[in-house]
Structure 1
Amino acid sequence: MFSFFSKIKNITTIELATKLADNIVLLDVRTPFEYRQGHIAKAKNVPLNKIAAYKEKTDQRIYVICQSGMRSKQAAKQLKQKGYDVINVKGGMNQWSGKVRGGK
């Protein structure tokens, strides 16, 4: 049962790094400009202002990242309301020390 007040799970960027070897769904909710500046290779860009329209069929957990963790938390709440199993990456790209890829 969904509760509007249910907590969004969080993981650190270090924990995220250990999961990237698996086939995970990682959404980067920053703007396309920010995304092109540098993103995690597996991340798919779905800006926060478009997250409400996200309709991918997935039984997988979705990891959400942004620059600092604020927008990803908002996105995670919206996705959770739609029934997705979501985890927010705290600290976002500000805390990410792994490789990044530029461009699309």
Structure 2
Amino acid sequence: MENISTEALVKAMVNDVPVVDVRESFEYNEGHIPTAKNIPLSELELRYSEVAPETYIICRSGARSQRAVDFLATKGIPTTNVLGGTQAWDGCLVKEE
């Protein structure tokens, strides 16, 4: 299991890496990283097959994303936790209407 900073995620996103935001839908809709797909942690057990290997997992602060990374590892899906989450994100966040 890996951890990266939001700064490192910005650099990785140049290569169109997959990003999954595990916050609840209402949180995601209030502002999320561009290109991030929303799979709430509360739904991950049923939707984990939607997560590709080498996906970057983010939440608000890094705690839920760490739990998601740990869970996905038990399913044989290697992912990376984004430390600090959207609170540490220095770029713009996209809001859903």
TM-score normalized by structure 1? 0.86
**Structure 1 segments of 4+ aligned residues over 4 angstroms from their partners:** none
Taking only the aligned residue pairs, the percentage that are identical comes to: 39
Q: What is the SS of the residue equivalent to 1:24?
A: coil
The reply on whether 1:18 has 2:11 as its aligned counterpart is yes
User: Equivalent residue for 2:50?
Assistant: 56
Q: Which has the higher helix share?
A: 2
The correspondence for 1:29, drawn from 13, 22, 33, is 22
* Coordinate RMSD, CA, aligned: 1.3
Cα displacement (A) at 1:56: 2.5
Q: Is the 8 A contact 1:20 1:42 kept in 2?
A: no
Which one has the largest radius of gyration? 1
Q: What is the SS of the residue equivalent to 1:55?
A: helix
Change (3 A) 1:57 1:11: closer
Unaligned runs of 5+ in 1: 1-7
Unaligned runs of 5+ in 2: none
TM-score normalized by structure 2? 0.92
User: Equivalent residue for 1:39?
Assistant: 32
Q: Is the 8 A contact 1:40 1:101 kept in 2?
A: yes
